[in-house]
Copies of this chain bind each other. A is one copy, B any other.
Amino acid sequence: MHSGPVASRSADPKDSRESKNGGGPQLDAVSLAIIEQLQEDGRRPYAAIGKAVGLSEAAVRQRVQKLLDQGVMQIVAVTDPLTVGFRRQAMVGVNVEGDVESVADALTAMDECEYVVMTAGSFDLMVEIVCEDDDHLLEVINRRIRAVPGVRSTESFVYLKLKKQTYMWGTR
């Protein structure tokens, strides 16, 4: 009475690239199910998760720990920044001349950049900025981001109201 099709484990021991981004280590169905459980409630007990996915409590615990260590997933509290005292946010589209990735790395290093993604389209990069007030936002966009070598131009979209924010990937 174990589980059914458990642990096909396509993982290749030699091929353990934990690059945190890019292709990814290819999760099996059980790990996916565990992640779904934790997306519904990040504090759900391991035993309850085990019951839901057909694994023992200890096995779930080890898998979760590994997913955490590998950086595949993180369990965190998320909030509406406006509620927590960050009054100005913006999405910034960036156009780059030269190496896009090096610019992306420079932006990634900034604390105020909460989200950095390389895109196809009329922007090369999209960056989400979280600031305390207008002065702070102005400084980040006009002084810091535009000062990065390779940045040709930027366009800003100041947030007026956050309507939706979910983390239910895979739960559909």
Which A residues are closer than 8 A to B by beta carbons?
20-25, 27, 32, 35, 38-43, 72-86, 90-91, 93, 104-105, 107-108, 111, 113-123, 126, 130, 155-170, 172
| A116 touching B170, Cβ below 8 Å | no
Minimum CB–CB distance for A134 against chain B, Å = 12
- Which residues of B have CB within 8 Å of A41? 75-76
Q: How many copies does the complex hold?
A: 2
Minimum CB–CB distance for A67 against chain B, Å = 8
**27 residue pairs A–B, Cβ–Cβ below 8 Å:** A20-B80, A21-B82, A21-B162, A22-B82, A23-B82, A24-B84, A32-B85, A38-B76, A38-B77, A41-B75, A42-B42, A72-B79, A72-B83, A75-B76, A75-B77, A75-B78, A78-B167, A84-B170, A91-B119, A104-B163, A114-B166, A114-B167, A116-B164, A117-B159, A117-B163, A119-B160, A122-B157
| A80 touching B24, Cβ below 8 Å | yes
Report Cα–Cα, A80/B107, bound state, in Å.
Answer: 19
| B118 touching A160, Cβ below 8 Å | yes
The residue among A77, A161, A165 with the most chain B CB atoms within 10 A of its own CB is A77
